[in-house]
Amino acid sequence: MRFGQDHLDRDALDALQTARLAGLLERLRASDSRWWHAKLATAPDEITSLDQLTDLPFTEKAEFRDAYPWGMLAVPRSHTVRVHASSGTSGSPTIVGYTAGDLGIFAEVNARALACAGAGADDVVQVAYGYGLFTGGLGVHYGVEDLGATAVPASGGNPGFQVRLMADLDVTGLACTPSFALLLAERAATDGLLERIHLRWGLHGAEPWSEALRDKLQAAWGGYDACDIYGISEVIGPGVAGECHEEKAGLHIFEDHFYPEVVDPVTGDRLPDGELGELVVTTLTKEAQPVIRYRTRDLTRLIPDPCRCGRTLRRIERLSGRVDDMLIIRGVNVYPTAVESVLLDEPAVGGQFVLVVDRRGSMAELEARVELAHAGLAGRRDEVAARLVHRLHEVVRVRVSVTVLDPGSLPRQELGKARRVFDRTDDADPVG
């Protein structure tokens, strides 16, 4: 069976993980990297159990920037065949090197994530993630080819051209951010192409998104399977975990390559399965630039329960947000994904929304702006706003003002990750 690792007996998987962790430490100690020698100075001499992982130090994103550009390599630079990088908006970008072996793993885990979503060799897959230093486009692209399917490397932007391609090439799978998938559905409807596009599945990641947005996406595309994919640039990119279409209840971590832990974001203590905390990932097989106990800042929980798809890999719950994304509104901690779930669960609103944090007063206030699902609901604008204000107060325990706009009023983002949260510090409207 292809991807037999997905169905390994748990005892066999544990043994494989332990052996690979021990092998990783041996490789790092044998390398010429001063950085890794210093990192492992207090690590156990021998690894015989996965429980010893907690004796190893965490890795933080700041370390990538401190070691920029090549300081964290565990192999000679001449052994790398590619680099990717994450955004450098808060300093130097995080550079990640790959060997040829790493690229093989990159393709494999993305192929496995695609298979989770229902993809097969007969599919035509439009890859509408950005290509370049960002890992999304190339990672999924090589996964499509590894699966034996046909890749359409559309990259991001140009929605009019993209939906024509989808119709003309009989595209059956779509890989892009959830916000861009919604934008493409809107454009296909506007251009009269929905009836010519026959999507079976979509693989949507790079942004946290709610079950309510999944419902709106699946309705907009006429009932395809919208599945989540999780990745971290510092680990490998997309393909760390993928959601199966059979259950759509958490993402299977490809544990033979990436060992997951969930820890308390404040203390760093490991949490038991089922408790919400920060995801920590160790790469068991990465060659050029492995990471040990990398703190992702992403909030989730481990789901040990069996999945009806038959995969034995543990799952992580779909992300609740990021430790860094939490808003403090009138003294209350609010995660944008919790607000999104309420807004998009309202049938009278469409899939576009923004949040404006008004910081002009002594305490921050939160405004949500949404669009009506269609123009025929204009007479119910006040009713919809009042219902959302009430529901938001019930769920997030803080008053959120709601502005209900006509369809098409909010700006659309054709490239990159959708921006949902805007800060207001003066009288100018930050949304535009």
Which CATH number fits the domain that encloses residue 248?
3.40.50.12780
User: What does residue 7 show for φ and ψ, rounded to 5 degrees?
Assistant: -120, 20
Rounded CA-CA distance 267/150 in Å is 46
Give the mean model confidence (pLDDT) for residues 384-395.
Answer: 95
Question: Considering its fold, how many domains does the chain have in total?
Answer: 2
Same domain, 299 and 342: no
Same domain, 34 and 132: yes
- Bridge partners, 420 (sequence order): none
Same domain, 230 and 332: no
Same domain, 49 and 145: yes
Give the mean model confidence (pLDDT) for residues 90-107.
Answer: 90
Quick one: which of 280, 255, 257 has its CA closest to 9?
Answer: 255
Give the domain-ending residue among 282, 301, 322.
322
Give the domain-ending residue among 295, 322, 349.
322
Per-residue pLDDT at 1: 58
Per-residue pLDDT at 325: 84
In-domain check, residue 236 = yes
- Given a cut of 70, is residue 201 above it in pLDDT? yes
Could you read off the pLDDT of 332-375 as tens digits, one per residue?
889 898 999 999 999 999 999 999 999 998 889 999 999 999 99
In-domain check, residue 432 = no
Task: Please tell me the least confidently modeled range out of 15-24, 268-277, 368-377, 407-416.
Answer: 407-416
Task: Please tell me the least confidently modeled range out of 145-149, 200-204, 416-420.
Answer: 416-420
Q: Cβ neighbours of residue 205 under 8 Å, at least 6 residues apart?
A: 136, 177, 178, 228, 229, 230, 231, 238
Give the mean model confidence (pLDDT) for residues 290-305.
Answer: 96
In-domain check, residue 431 = no
**Is the alpha carbon torsion for 70, 75, 76, 79 positive or negative?**
negative
Q: Is 275 left (phi over 0), alpha (psi -120 to 50) or beta?
A: beta
Q: How would you label 92-118 residue by residue, b for 16+ Cβ within 10 Å and e otherwise?
A: ebbbbbbbeebbebbbbbbbbbbbbbb
- Cα 62 to Cα 15, 91, 234: the distances in Å are 32, 10, 11
Could you read off the pLDDT of 25-77 as tens digits, one per residue?
999 999 999 999 999 999 999 999 999 999 999 999 999 999 999 999 999 99
Per-residue pLDDT at 391: 94
Q: What distance, in Å, lies between the first and last C-alpha atoms of the chain?
A: 53
User: What does residue 41 show for φ and ψ, rounded to 5 degrees?
Assistant: -60, -35
Rounded CA-CA distance 314/303 in Å is 6
Strand ordering across the sheet containing 150-152: 150-152, 124-127, 173-175, 201-205, 225-232, 237-243, 251-253, 315-316, 302-303
Rounded CA-CA distance 308/202 in Å is 20
Per-residue pLDDT at 362: 82
Give the domain-ending residue among 292, 322, 352.
322
What is the CATH number for 410? 3.30.300.30
Same domain, 374 and 295: no
For residue 87, name the pLDDT band (cuts at 50, 70, 90): low
Per-residue pLDDT at 324: 84
Contact 94, 64 (CB under 8 A): yes
- Find the domain containing 99 and state its range: 1-322
In-domain check, residue 430 = no
- Given a cut of 70, is residue 88 above it in pLDDT? no
Per-residue pLDDT at 91: 61
Same domain, 413 and 293: no
Same domain, 82 and 146: yes
In-domain check, residue 429 = no
In-domain check, residue 269 = yes
- Given a cut of 60, is residue 89 above it in pLDDT? no
Same domain, 410 and 270: no
Average pLDDT, the chain: 94
In-domain check, residue 293 = yes
In-domain check, residue 31 = yes
Same domain, 315 and 375: no
For residue 4, name the pLDDT band (cuts at 50, 70, 90): confident
For residue 93, name the pLDDT band (cuts at 50, 70, 90): confident
Same domain, 247 and 331: no
For residue 274, name the pLDDT band (cuts at 50, 70, 90): very high
- Given a cut of 80, is residue 219 above it in pLDDT? yes
* Parallel/antiparallel/unpaired status of strands 150-152 and 315-316: unpaired
Same domain, 307 and 382: no
Same domain, 160 and 288: yes
- Bridge partners, 260 (sequence order): 281
